[in-house]
Structure 1
Amino acid sequence: MLHLRVISPSERTDEVLGLLDGAVGVANVVVLHGAARSPKGDLVEFDIAREAASEMIDCLRDLDLDTLGSIAGERVDLSVSEVAARAEEEAPGHGDDAVIWDELAQRVEDDTELSWAFLAFLVIATQIAAVGVIVNSPILIVGAMVLGPEFGAVAAVCFGLLRGDRHLIVRALRTLLTGFTVAIAVTLACALTFRALGWIDPGTLRGHEEIEFIVKPDRWSFVVALLAGAAGVLSVTAGKSSALVGVFISVTTVPAAGYLAVAVALGRWADVAGSVTQLAVNIAGMVISGTVTLLVQRAYWERFGVRFPARGPRGPRGLERGGGPGLRRGDR
């Protein structure tokens, strides 16, 4: 279940309650007239099944409550209520499969921000991967995979392709390109320092069979990237963070960047080419499968009349796709 908090201008409150009255998946409706001060209006709170949340949010946006008032949502971790349980049962589909499109849109927008935290995590992850390459440690390679923050930007590219949002795609690709460029540059500087100190030399990377997969991309690298992209998007849309950790462990984007920096420092140009190819193969595979996964999810939820946010002058807006606003009990 989700808990939605809506601030509505007094003249729109009856319309809001009209949407909620008898709507599928809605329970525990509370109305506090005149309770809101900024923005001014009435406070309407209710719980709603995840399966019906995206449709309801779009209907509320159609009432201009995203500009005249406010719409906020949060997960309900515990709900002891027969009314809420019945609401979940009546909602179309299954909660774990539900996609709240506005939530996803906001999340990927945030993930395209080129923040210092993003750069710091990516630089640290790439340096850990480089050390793992130098000492031939698969454990460090796996640790670097988990720490890398790049999948959020990859998911943003997928969502941008689905929505036809060129601006979002460009921002996400710029974040990925800038992030990996900075991470590789910093790691290269460290690797050159290690070489100047005599800690590493061109022979350091010989006999590292356990991690040679990083610089030897093949058909299986692409297959794994496809599977990881699909799993990653599913974990993001369903909120399965534990599954997302598994995605990080399965792809070799950060390890390829770390190997690239070390290989450049040691003048191993064949390994440089292999690392670049591995990085490109993994990102391309994740983007392809992630976009296809979102297409399948959109098609699946269109069966229930759930609407998908399209671009507009004020951000994502709901477009009618099948059923009308406010699915009612018995519509399925």
Structure 2
Amino acid sequence: MLHLRLITPADRTEDVVRLIEKTVGTTHLVVMPGAARNPAGDVVMCDVAREAGDELIGGLRRLGLDDTGSIAVENIDLSLSRRADKAEQEAPGEGADAVIWEHLAEATHEESTLSVTYVAFLTIATMIAACGVVLDNAVLIVGAMAVGPEFGPLAGFSTALVQRHPRLALRSLTALLVGFAVAMAVTVGFSCLMDGVDLFTKVQLEAQRPNTNFIYRPDAFSFVVAVLAGIAGTLSLTSAKSGALVGVAISVTTVPAAANAAVAFTYTEYRQAWGSTAQLLLNLLGIVLAGTLTLLAQKWLWARQRERTAKAGGC
């Protein structure tokens, strides 16, 4: 269930209440006239089944409530109510399959913003991965994958393509390009420093490295795994199961590939640098492609579900 807290101008409250009452899957409607002070207006609260949430939020935005008042949405972790159970049963589809597009756009907007924190995490992850590739240490590689925040902009770019949101697409692409450019540039400097204190050597980089040489040797499985990870990551975002994102992060070699390219460039090992760059691009492409197709499939399936529900209601 979702909980909505709305601030409505007094002259729009009745329209908002009617919309809530006619939306299947809503319950626990509360109206507090004149309770809001900034902005001034009425406060309306209700609970809605997740599968009906996107329809209701879209209707509220069409009423202009996001401009004239406020729409706040939060997840309900526990609701002990027969009315809530009935609302979820009446709402079409399954809550786990529902996509709250406004929430997805907001979440990916935040995650795809080029910020100091984002660049710091990506840079630190790349430097950890650099240690991993030189030491041929798979544990460090996995750790670097988990630290890397690059899935946010990738999900944001996929969402922007599906929702036709050019500003979000540009923001996400900027975060990816600038973030990786800064992270790799800093890692080159980090590699020079480590070489200067004899902690990194070219001999280590050019060794067999059985645990990490896959990073600069992309193959068909690199793309397949990236596609599968992109699907899993997108589903975890749209279903609010964020725990799956950790598994997604350690399934793709974006950060390790960037790190290996940076270290290889430092030692003028251009064969590895090119192979690592190809691995990075292949993974990015696979994740974006999978994320976009997954969102399109979810959008189409949910539209079909609504059509069937509307026909059943008409009969």
The normalised TM-score by structure 1 is 0.91
Deviations 1:241-267 (A, max 9, x none): 111111001000001111111111222
Bigger mean CA deviation after superposition, 10-19 or 276-285:
10-19
Matched-pair contact (CA < 8 Å) for 1:22–1:329 = no
Sequence identity percentage:
48
- Rounded to whole Å, the distance in 2 between the matches of 1:304 and 1:235 is 21
Aligned to 1:66: 66
Q: Take 1:78 and 1:148, find their aligned partners in 2: how far apart are those partners?
A: 32
Partner of 2:299: 298
Q: For residues 269 and 248 of structure 2, what CA distance do their matches in structure 1 show?
A: 29
2:232 aligns to what?
231
> How many angstroms does 1:269 deviate by?
1.0
Moved more, 95-104 or 189-198: 189-198
Q: CA deviation at 1:174?
A: 1.1
| Matching residue's letter, 1:255 | P
- 1:111 alignment counterpart: 111
Distance change in 2, residues 1:329/1:75 (3 Å): farther
Whether 1:279 aligns to 2:289 is: no
Corresponding residue for residue 242 of structure 2: 241
Q: Secondary structure at the match of 2:223?
A: helix
Q: Matches of 1:286 and 1:24 in 2, distance apart?
A: 35
In 2, Cα distance between equivalents of 1:35 and 1:323: 40
Shift of 1:27: 1.0
Match of 2:25 in 1: 25
Change (3 A) 1:21 1:286: same
What one-letter code is carried by the residue in structure 2 that aligns with 1:264? F
Check conservation: 1:36, 1:43, Cα contact below 8 A: yes
Shift in Å, 1:164:
2.4
Equivalent residue for 1:313? none
1:167 corresponds to 2:167: yes
Output one character per residue of 1:39-62: Cα deviation in whole Å (capped at 9) or x when no partner: 111100011011000000011111
What secondary structure sits across from 1:250 in the alignment? coil
Answering whether residue 161 of structure 2 is matched by residue 135 of structure 1, we say: no
Determine whether 1:40 maps to 2:61.
Answer: no
For 2:191, the equivalent position in structure 1 comes to: 191
Q: Which has the higher helix share?
A: 2
RMSD: 1.8
Distance 1:167 1:21, change over 3 A: closer
Deviating more after overlay: 190-199 vs 49-58: 190-199
In structure 2, the residue matched to 1:212 is 213
Helix, strand or coil at the partner of 1:204: helix
Alignment of structure 1 residues 314-329 onto 2, 5 Å: none
CA distance in 2, matches of 1:52, 1:143: 39
SS of equivalent residue, structure 2 residue 181: helix
SS in structure 2 at match of 1:291: helix
Aligned-partner Cα distance in 2 for 1:71–1:198: 57
Q: CA deviation at 1:323?
A: 9.3
Aligned counterpart, 1:91: 91
Q: How far apart are the structure 2 equivalents of 1:62 and 1:179?
A: 36
Q: Compare 155-164 and 274-283 and name the one that shifted more.
A: 155-164
Q: Which runs of 5+ in 1 are unaligned?
A: 306-321
Amino acid at match of 2:189: A
Maintained 8 Å contact 1:202/1:267:
no
Corresponding letter in the other structure for 1:69: G
For 2:300 and 2:26, the matched residues in 1 are separated by: 24
SS at match of 1:78: coil
Q: Which deviations, in whole Å up to 9, do the C-alpha atoms of 1:113-153 show, x marking residues without a partner?
A: 11111011001100110111111110110010011000010
Query: Between Structure 1 and Structure 2, how many residues are aligned?
Result: 314
TM-score, normalised via structure 2 length = 0.96
Shift of 1:20: 1.8
Whole-angstrom distance in 1 between the partners of 2:44 and 2:302: 26
**Structure 1 runs of 4+ with >4 Å offset:** 327-332
Change (3 A) 1:279 1:107: same
